[in-house]
């Protein structure tokens, strides 16, 4: 019997045997499946990558007396994002604020049968704190959006079923593009024309990313620090196939540096990549594997940029809020019944949670004494 | 005065006098109406059949020292389904899941004035855990569904008022068919054409069942373990009239074996039949006697198959979840005010409840001591 | 200074001085405005009539040793309706029930711009316990109702903006007619034609009553125990002007006896009149003075008849439930913010409340001891 | 280092040094930024004006033994509005009320893509206590409003996309005009024609105010005590540019006296101006800086006038309720996730709060004793 097939509980020290901190696992590497890994000094990136995370069910970090100051000041390429990391980036609302200060988010998307995605993105942008939200959609979505989201303003394309030209007389603070938009050639053409004159920061998702993949020259027209939020297939179309998680990260870093864009790799531990740095998110749960969950994330990031967060912070903080909101919602709905609208509904609690002290673990005997 | 007309409290031992475990009651059988039946070793099937359940208001099983191992290992034809029976079948969500893993449920249905049924079925499928949900409806339902259920994608038939052709370019994991679809000949024809090429597992309800009854040759085109969820009249059209509950079960078993389908007999104790086995559900309450309740059940079963449950487990577990959700909801709404949307809203609590320990009965004196 | 202008607290014994139990007050009657009336044996009808209720802010009944059995068995013309009176009329739901047992309520109404009224009535009917609800509306209401109330089925008139012919192929258990229907001559004509063949029990509200007033011969076509729920102006059009509250009641009784209809006089203490008997409701509050409140009442009464209550009990119980639901809702919303939808949302709690023991008044010292 | 740049905590006495009670601050005035100001006898107006409020983070008033009766009876030009000020103006609902008593509010507004604003205003008017609400909108908003707000009645303009003529056969108690209405010349013309015959009290917001600014002669047609609720840019178009907050107030007072209108200056401390008096609101928070917040305020004021409040009290009380509702809602949603619909949802709690005793501060030792 191979050790790795043993059903006994396996404790790994620092890193499960056979796993490397800096290169991928191959079939020949007989990695031990650890029930628990006690890691030294800091968690390893491989604990968060899809191909290798499975090798340790749980992990904890042991302080082995390395110089803390050295650790904190060393510029690492990987940062874990939790409450303590987002807190200093939070922008408080001043009393004498007005909605003009929180910007005007424009959400461009939708096509026949896929208007709900725009509703979710727009609602998420407003519920994240944008001052105003306008949805730009094909005509076929007019009644639905007007009925279900009264706080939004709507501009419709001349076309009934898809986006064919992007023209508006508002001055958006930020534009979210691509949710449910399809890849019709007229839509592609309208997107290209829009990019030529657009000055606003951009968040691009879904078919918006597919349109970039189809016509890579458009990448040159993106404003610096445009946020891209691809799911795996969209990512592959954008950067090409990868051999393994390490190769994928390498390719994304190169892509990010070349085009000066921020890439949000959606997954169990969503990783935001900008140039050489990786920001590994620690919130979120499998309940987010549900229709529209990504549309809500796009709305959250757009809503943050709208109110003044820079795009990188908006991406990192947005991914955190999205996951945290789901973490709170899942206590009421469970993994299976959580739907994307719930993530929007619980955004307020996710914000409020930022200022809550983490609960200190309590000893059993203290509990009994209560 | 006859004994059975007595108003005195009647305790029956094992089974109310005059009731048989294996054959129907006739008018000549002067069955005693028992207030309470103390049954030996296991409950009897007749306690769950509409014609005979009324003879005992309550029942409990007395352990009479039969060899428990024998009881457990004996392959019985009837299984009572409660929390302990569904728990081992529950598929946990892994951390590195994504919505592709939970499938794409396609709900085909609706006709002019009956679009709400598709909304309920689609919402139930998503809230049960399907990764994606697409609704295939006639054009007249477009605005309503787009406005009320943003998480859904929509494909519309070429016809304004009914389904006349079933064509789509998605690859559904499972198809729910029939809710509110009507029995127009064009719809019948579209259904037949669809069945000829369909490979996805099927859940068929309402007019979908009526269409099968009208043209029995379609039954040959059903994939194995297709789930049918008829109400009594739809069932009768499908299998013909029955003499009594025993005859009904016999006919259903024969039908199930012949066509390799799973039949869910909706009622106070919904019974799922597959070949010779009966699965008697123990959750649910009279609050479920409300418009759209069946549509929600169809959505739940479809949503379970979508995320990887096999059709038989999906039917049994789905019926359990549907009833459990209603049991929790009824505490807030009462029997009369419970509506089908509430059953969807409480699905999360029904899932969470699976992992709760059943409360142990507390003695009165313990309560007083609190 | 007149005594009645005194600002001192006034206690009235049995009935405020100047008030009569059986005839109206005139300007010459210098009725005392009582802060509290201690009434003998039973409350007086004048405590509940708009013109005279104002003379006593509060009242209580003192048991003066009259023969209780005599009081209970005496057939009084006036009955106060509270929890104890509705409880014996409650029809419990049996376990082996199905939605067919709770009937199919058909709500016919609406016109351009007044479709919401039908939504409220239909939702109220279902939330009161009807098994199925179909709304019959002009075409202009199709999308709105389909989007906002998925449990309902819809049949549309051939006309876009109003009801012009009432044709359907369902067999309703009960029909609610008139909410938002307008008084167009085509609508009037359709109503007349409908009445000629209709066999189902009827609840008529709003413009439905106005149509009866315009063409009194239609009254002959009403089924026995049709329920009419007029507000004051609709009532006046129906029975003509009255001199005072007593005269009004006299006219209504005569009208009820002549046409064999049940008249629900909406107000602070809604009074249901059938022939010579008056049922004075004790639930409800000023929060019900809000748009759509009457539509909800029509839906509740229709929903009760649908599930088997006879029309008189349905009217009395429906008025009670409507008021009770508002009484519970007002604790969360206050009088001003209560809207008609809330009354529907709280119907479940109103049902559940029926089975709650009324709280016993607690002495101050007992409270302190807690 | 300048004192004002000191990071030490600064306590100001009476008023931060360099700030004047009656004239604006210039760049030369080296005003101290106070962490806390202990003000004598009464708070100063400058604590509530945008340009100067920032100079003191917090303030409290010290009773310095001035003759209280003198203070209370002195007619001051500035009144702070809190719970104690609105309470005496609250109109209780009498038991024998009916919806006719609470008036019929007519909301005229909306244009293509801006229908949601009318939904919010109309819902706010009803939820504030109007008896009936009718929305007057262009045709393009019909389905959305009918679907999302069933309690409302709807009248549509002859035009599909904008208001082009204002004709109705109802008798509104009050009219709210301008939300989302645009400034098309046809709309402007329809507004002018409407003003010539209108007798109902008016609340004018948003583009309604812009229409007045474009054609100042319309101001002569406004009923006395018309309420205007401009945001800063709308205000500037109406009264011209101002040099500073003091100049702004002076201009508004002059405008109010000239046209006999009430001006609500929206901001962190919303100030209601009528002739020479200023009413400074103390409720509200930065969460109100969100799309549709102003539409809700217009609806609240309109709903108060509808039920019998005079326009000045309605403006003052409405601003208070709007802020209070947001203050309660923000505890659940946080500043960023609060959206305009929440403000409507919490209006009931804002009303109920009026009758709650303010919590007395509790000493630590008292808390411990519990």
If one compares C48 and B145, the residue with the highest pLDDT of the two is B145
| Segment A156-202, tens digit of pLDDT | 999 999 999 999 999 999 999 999 999 999 999 999 999 999 999 99
Question: Please, is D194 exposed, middle or buried when counting C-beta atoms within 10 Å of its C-beta (0-12, 13-18, 19+)?
Answer: buried
- Give the DSSP per-residue string, C88-120: GG--PPPTT--GGGG-EEEEE---TT--HHHHH
Best CA proximity match to A92, nearest among D334, D293, B71: D334
pLDDT of the residue at D366: 47
Total beta-carbon pairs less than 8 A apart between chain C and chain D: 109
Provide the token pair at B260: 């390799």
Q: How far is D144 from chain C (nearest CA, A)?
A: 7
Cβ contact, residue pair B141, C142, below 8 Å: no
pLDDT of the residue at D364: 47
With bands split at pLDDT 50, 70 and 90, how would you rate the model's confidence at A369? very low
Where helices occur in chain C by DSSP H, the ranges are 50-53, 68-73, 83-86, 116-128, 142-148, 185-197, 207-214, 232-239, 245-259, 293-306, 311-337, 340-345, 347-353, 364-369
Q: Is A132 on the interface with D (CB under 8 A)?
A: yes
Directed axis angle between helix C293-306 and helix C116-128, to 10°? 40
Residue with tokens 């959580």: A338
With bands split at pLDDT 50, 70 and 90, how would you rate the model's confidence at A95? confident
DSSP-based three-state secondary structure for C154: strand
- Range name among C12-16, C24-28, C114-118 with the lowest pLDDT average: C24-28
| Segment B26-83, tens digit of pLDDT | 767 767 777 777 777 667 777 777 777 777 767 777 666 665 555 455 556 889 999 9
- On whether the CB atoms of residues B144 and C146 are closer than 8 A, the answer is yes
Contacts of D184 (CB under 8 A, 6+ apart): D111, D162, D164
In this prediction, residues B231-259 reach a mean pLDDT of 95
pLDDT of the residue at A5: 53
Provide the token pair at C159: 């006309």
- On whether the CB atoms of residues A52 and A245 are closer than 8 A, the answer is yes
Contacts of B142 in chain A (CB under 8 A): 113, 140
Cβ contact, residue pair B289, C98, below 8 Å: yes
Contacts of C333 in chain D (CB under 8 A): 348
With bands split at pLDDT 50, 70 and 90, how would you rate the model's confidence at C358? low
Distance of CA D124 to the CA centre of its chain: 13
Q: Which of B51, B54, B55, B113 to mutate to test the interface with C (most CBs of C within 10 A)?
A: B113
Provide the token pair at C172: 């309703």
In order of A180, C63, C248, D120, the CA distances from C363 in angstroms are 65, 20, 42, 47
Q: How far is D128 from chain C (nearest CA, A)?
A: 5
Best CA proximity match to B264, nearest among B314, B340, B315, B211: B315
Intervals of CATH 3.40.1190.20 along chain B: 87-102+121-129+171-353
Chain mean pLDDT for chain B:
89
Rounded to 5 degrees, φ, ψ at B207 are -65, -20
Is pLDDT above 90 for A67? no
Q: How far apart are alpha carbons D257 and B306 in whole angstroms?
A: 69
Cβ contact, residue pair D339, A127, below 8 Å: yes
Q: Which of A334, A335, A341, A342 to mutate to test the interface with B (most CBs of B within 10 A)?
A: A334
Chains interfacing with A (3 or more CB pairs < 8 Å):
B, D
Q: Which of A151, A300, A352, A353 to mutate to test the interface with D (most CBs of D within 10 A)?
A: A151
Paired sense of beta strands B271-274 and B262-265, if any: antiparallel
| Segment D225-246, tens digit of pLDDT | 999 999 999 999 999 999 998 9
Cβ contact, residue pair B336, C348, below 8 Å: yes
Is pLDDT above 50 for A139? yes
Identity of the residue in B99, B143, B351 whose CB atom sits nearest the CB atom of A337: B351
Q: Is A144 on the interface with B (CB under 8 A)?
A: yes
| Segment D99-142, tens digit of pLDDT | 779 999 999 999 999 999 999 999 999 999 999 999 999 999 99
pLDDT of the residue at B1: 40
Best CA proximity match to A176, nearest among A71, A47, A11, A315: A315
Is pLDDT above 90 for D196? yes
Is pLDDT above 80 for A367? no
Intervals of CATH 3.40.1190.20 along chain A: 87-354
Q: How far apart are alpha carbons D224 and D260 in whole angstroms?
A: 5
pLDDT of the residue at B205: 98
In this prediction, residues C191-204 reach a mean pLDDT of 98
Is pLDDT above 60 for A41? yes
Rounded to 5 degrees, φ, ψ at A243 are -85, -35
Identity of the residue in C97, C147, C307 whose CB atom sits nearest the CB atom of B147: C147
Contacts of B261 (CB under 8 A, 6+ apart): B219, B222, B225, B226, B227, B228, B255
Cβ contact, residue pair D129, C292, below 8 Å: no
Rounded to 5 degrees, φ, ψ at C269 are -115, 90
In this prediction, residues D309-330 reach a mean pLDDT of 98
In order of A121, A182, A317, B179, D121, the CA distances from A138 in angstroms are 15, 12, 31, 29, 26
Q: Residues 283 to 302 of A: which have CB under 8 A from any B CB? A: 285-287, 289-293
In order of A101, A135, A230, A272, A313, the CA distances from A297 in angstroms are 22, 16, 11, 13, 14
Q: How far is B324 from chain C (nearest CA, A)?
A: 15
| Strand arrangement of the beta sheet that strand B34-40 belongs to | B11-13, B34-40, B56-62
CB atoms within 10 A of CB C208: 28
In order of D194, D196, D203, D208, D230, the CA distances from D217 in angstroms are 14, 11, 18, 14, 18
In this prediction, residues B172-179 reach a mean pLDDT of 98
- Range name among A350-359, B181-190, C223-232 with the lowest pLDDT average: A350-359
pLDDT of the residue at A1: 40
pLDDT of the residue at C369: 46
Paired sense of beta strands D262-265 and D271-274, if any: antiparallel
Q: How far is D350 from chain C (nearest CA, A)?
A: 9
Residue B175 carries which DSSP code? E
| Segment C241-257, tens digit of pLDDT | 999 989 999 999 999 99
With bands split at pLDDT 50, 70 and 90, how would you rate the model's confidence at C45? confident
Q: How far apart are alpha carbons B206 and C341 in whole angstroms?
A: 31
pTM exceeding 0.95 = no
CB atoms within 10 A of CB D57: 14
Q: How far is D51 from chain C (nearest CA, A)?
A: 36
Q: Is C155 on the interface with B (CB under 8 A)?
A: yes
Cβ contact, residue pair C152, B116, below 8 Å: yes
For residue B156, the surrounding DSSP H or E stretch is strand B153-156
| Segment D57-75, tens digit of pLDDT | 677 776 666 655 554 555 5
Contacts of C219 (CB under 8 A, 6+ apart): C212, C259, C261
The DSSP bridge partners found for residue C265 are C271
With bands split at pLDDT 50, 70 and 90, how would you rate the model's confidence at D368? very low
DSSP-based three-state secondary structure for B152: coil
| Strand arrangement of the beta sheet that strand B277-281 belongs to | B78-81, B277-281, B271-274, B262-265, B227-229, B202-205, B174-177, B104-108, B132-137, B153-156
With bands split at pLDDT 50, 70 and 90, how would you rate the model's confidence at D191? very high
- On whether the CB atoms of residues D208 and D178 are closer than 8 A, the answer is yes
If one compares A6 and D13, the residue with the highest pLDDT of the two is D13
Paired sense of beta strands B227-229 and B202-205, if any: parallel
- Range name among A241-245, A302-306, D328-332 with the lowest pLDDT average: A241-245
**CATH annotation of A87-354:** 3.40.1190.20
pLDDT of the residue at C370: 41
Percent of chain B exceeding pLDDT 70 equals 88
Q: How far apart are alpha carbons A135 and D145 in whole angstroms?
A: 18
Question: Please, is C77 exposed, middle or buried when counting C-beta atoms within 10 Å of its C-beta (0-12, 13-18, 19+)?
Answer: exposed
Identity of the residue in C94, C128, C347 whose CB atom sits nearest the CB atom of B286: C94
Q: How far is C66 from chain D (nearest CA, A)?
A: 31
If one compares A89 and C44, the residue with the highest pLDDT of the two is A89
Q: Is D47 on the interface with C (CB under 8 A)?
A: no
Is pLDDT above 80 for D359? no
pLDDT of the residue at B6: 53
| Segment B119-148, tens digit of pLDDT | 999 999 999 999 999 999 999 999 999 999
In this prediction, residues C319-325 reach a mean pLDDT of 98
Residue with tokens 């009081």: C71
For residue B145, the surrounding DSSP H or E stretch is helix B142-148
Contacts of D172 (CB under 8 A, 6+ apart): D103, D104, D105, D106, D134, D200
The DSSP bridge partners found for residue D204 are D177, D228
Intervals of CATH 3.40.1190.20 along chain C: 87-353
- On whether the CB atoms of residues A118 and A145 are closer than 8 A, the answer is yes
- Range name among A172-176, C17-21, D336-340 with the lowest pLDDT average: C17-21
With bands split at pLDDT 50, 70 and 90, how would you rate the model's confidence at A6? low
DSSP-based three-state secondary structure for B97: coil
In this prediction, residues C202-209 reach a mean pLDDT of 98
Q: How far apart are alpha carbons D268 and D271 in whole angstroms?
A: 9
DSSP-based three-state secondary structure for C125: helix
Best CA proximity match to A37, nearest among A55, A18, A51: A55
Q: What is the ipTM of this complex?
A: 0.89
pLDDT of the residue at B364: 46
Identity of the residue in B293, B332, B341 whose CB atom sits nearest the CB atom of C348: B332
Chains interfacing with D (3 or more CB pairs < 8 Å):
A, C
DSSP-based three-state secondary structure for C356: coil
Which residue is closest to D101 within chain C, CA to CA?
A: C289
Identity of the residue in C145, C289, C333 whose CB atom sits nearest the CB atom of D131: C289
Chain mean pLDDT for chain D:
89
Q: Is A63 on the interface with D (CB under 8 A)?
A: no
The CATH class that applies to domain C87-353 reads alpha beta
Domain B87-102+121-129+171-353: give its CATH architecture. Answer: 3-Layer(aba) Sandwich (3.40)
In order of C42, D278, D324, the CA distances from D281 in angstroms are 51, 10, 10
Is pLDDT above 50 for D369? no
Q: How far is B234 from chain C (nearest CA, A)?
A: 13
In this prediction, residues D320-348 reach a mean pLDDT of 98
| Segment C77-103, tens digit of pLDDT | 889 999 999 999 999 988 777 777 899
pLDDT of the residue at D1: 40
Cβ contact, residue pair D151, C336, below 8 Å: no
Contacts of C321 in chain B (CB under 8 A): none
Q: Is D206 on the interface with A (CB under 8 A)?
A: no
pLDDT of the residue at D21: 72
Chains interfacing with B (3 or more CB pairs < 8 Å):
A, C
Contacts of D142 in chain A (CB under 8 A): none
Is pLDDT above 60 for C341? yes
Q: How far apart are alpha carbons D324 and D344 in whole angstroms?
A: 11
- Give the DSSP per-residue string, A107-151: EE---TT--HHHHHHHHHHHHHT-SEEEEEE-GGGHHHHHHH-TT
Query: How many Cα atoms are found within 13 Å in the side-chain-facing hemisphere of D11?
Result: 3
- On whether the CB atoms of residues A336 and B348 are closer than 8 A, the answer is yes
If one compares D75 and A260, the residue with the highest pLDDT of the two is A260
Q: Which of D160, D286, D329, D345 to mutate to test the interface with A (most CBs of A within 10 A)?
A: D286
Contacts of B1 (CB under 8 A, 6+ apart): none
């Amino acid at each position: 019997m191979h050790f790795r097939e043993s059903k006994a509980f396996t404790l790994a020290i620092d890193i499960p045997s056979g796993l490397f901190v800096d290169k991928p696992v191959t079939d020949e590497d007989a990695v031990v499946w650890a029930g628990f890994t006690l890691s030294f000094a800091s968690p390893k990136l491989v604990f968060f990558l899809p191909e290798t995370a499975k090798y340790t069910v749980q992990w904890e970090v042991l302080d082995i007396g390395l110089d803390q100051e050295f650790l904190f000041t060393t510029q690492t390429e990987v940062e874990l994002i939790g409450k303590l990391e987002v807190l200093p980036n939070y922008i408080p609302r001043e009393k004498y604020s007005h909605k003009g200060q929180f910007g005007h988010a424009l959400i461009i998307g939708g096509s026949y049968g896929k208007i709900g995605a725009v509703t979710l993105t727009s609602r998420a942008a407003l519920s994240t704190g944008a001052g105003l939200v306008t949805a730009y959609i094909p005509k076929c979505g007019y009644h639905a959006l007007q009925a279900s989201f009264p706080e939004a303003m709507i501009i419709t394309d001349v076309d009934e079923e898809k986006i064919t030209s992007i023209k508006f007389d508002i001055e958006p603070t930020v534009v979210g593009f691509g949710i449910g938009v399809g890849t019709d050639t007229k839509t592609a053409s309208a997107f290209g024309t829009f990019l030529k004159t657009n000055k606003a920061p951009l968040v691009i998702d879904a078919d918006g990313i597919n349109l970039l993949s189809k016509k890579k020259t458009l990448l040159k027209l993106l404003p610096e620090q445009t946020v891209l939020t691809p799911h795996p297939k969209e990512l592959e179309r954008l950067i090409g196939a990868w051999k393994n998680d390490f190769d994928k990260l390498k390719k994304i870093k190169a892509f990010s540096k070349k085009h000066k864009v921020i890439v949000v790799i959606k997954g169990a531990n969503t990783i935001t990549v900008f140039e050489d740095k990786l920001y590994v998110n620690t919130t979120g749960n499998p309940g987010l594997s549900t229709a529209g969950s990504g549309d809500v994330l796009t709305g959250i990031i757009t809503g943050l940029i709208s109110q003044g967060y820079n795009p990188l912070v908006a991406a990192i903080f947005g991914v955190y809020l999205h996951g945290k909101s789901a973490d709170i919602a899942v206590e009421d709905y469970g993994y299976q019944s959580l739907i994307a609208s719930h993530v929007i509904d619980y955004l307020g609690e996710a914000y409020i949670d930022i200022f809550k002290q983490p609960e200190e673990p309590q000893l059993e005997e203290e509990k009994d004494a209560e």
